[in-house]
Structure 1
Amino acid sequence: MPHNHNYNPKLKPFARSLRQESTKTEVRLWCEVLSKGRTGYTFLRQRPVGNYIADFLCKELKLIIEVDGYSHNFKTEEDLKRDKEIADLGFTTLRFNDEEVMKDLSNVERVIVGWIESSQT
């Protein structure tokens, strides 16, 4: 089996626990926007990328969608480092916070669909 350099097996149990503890926000985004190829693409939940766990990952689009908690109103240095490392692997990260997903899901969906459409041109 070929070695996947984007995968860290040590993160597997952690990924599993994150999947089980998914926030209501992630569940809502998943159910109403990202599941079952609603966007035309397959998104996977809580997948390891590099040394991180992505909330949602579309390998085909090389797109990661992150949902940040209510307290996460600004990008921390850690987020910037993470986004850069993930970008170096060829991925784009779109970030939303809990409030946007819970109160303005249609706009979140519009941003995601807009990104997908613009990436296809």
Structure 2
Amino acid sequence: MRARHPRKSSTDAEKTLWQDLRSRQLFGHRLKCQHPIGNYFVDFVCLESNLVVELDGGQHLESSEYDAARAAYLGNRGFSIVRPWNNQVLNEMDGVKESILLALNSVAKETKPSP
């Protein structure tokens, strides 16, 4: 079964973050927006680092079972997840980008082969 493209349009927070992440603007890391992984679409993913960025807002408070199943699915496939809140993206963009970059660098160190 393939993932269906999400019916919702992008939130203001997703659009804002995408403007800062696209075209390798985060120190050369390539992130994709609204990318399918199995039966799910994730907000953003860096496939080279197996890092998913999921923006959380009010809708996530009501869908905790779905989010837990999705997080387990992604975790079982080796993905780490960073979950900033929409209001953080809109009001604290530098901090959000820093947390994503720290996660990307952390994952890169874990997967880098030792000499």
Matched residue count: 108
Provide closer, same or farther for how the CA distance between residues 75 and 115 of structure 1 changes in structure 2, counting only shifts above 3 A.
farther
**Would the aligned equivalents of 2:60 and 2:67 in 1 still touch at CA under 8 Å?**
no
Q: What percent identity do the matched residue pairs reach?
A: 29
Is residue 2:93 matched to residue 1:105?
yes
Provide closer, same or farther for how the CA distance between residues 117 and 74 of structure 1 changes in structure 2, counting only shifts above 3 A.
farther
Q: CA RMSD in A?
A: 2.1
Is residue 2:83 matched to residue 1:95?
yes
Equivalents in 1 of 2:104, 2:53: separation in Å? 12
User: What pairs up with 1:39-50 in 2 under 5 angstroms?
Assistant: 39=26, 40-50=28-38
Which one has the bigger strand percentage?
1
1:97 is aligned with what amino acid?
W
Unaligned runs of 5+ in 1: 1-6
Give 1:71 deviation, angstroms. 4.8
**Would the aligned equivalents of 2:42 and 2:52 in 1 still touch at CA under 8 Å?**
yes
Provide closer, same or farther for how the CA distance between residues 99 and 73 of structure 1 changes in structure 2, counting only shifts above 3 A.
farther
Residue of structure 2 aligned with 1:59, choices 42, 47, 58: 47
Off by >4 Å, runs of 4+ in structure 1: none
2:51 is aligned with what amino acid?
L
Secondary structure at the residue paired with 1:120?
helix
Equivalents in 1 of 2:88, 2:62: separation in Å? 14
User: Structure 1 length normalisation: TM-score?
Assistant: 0.78
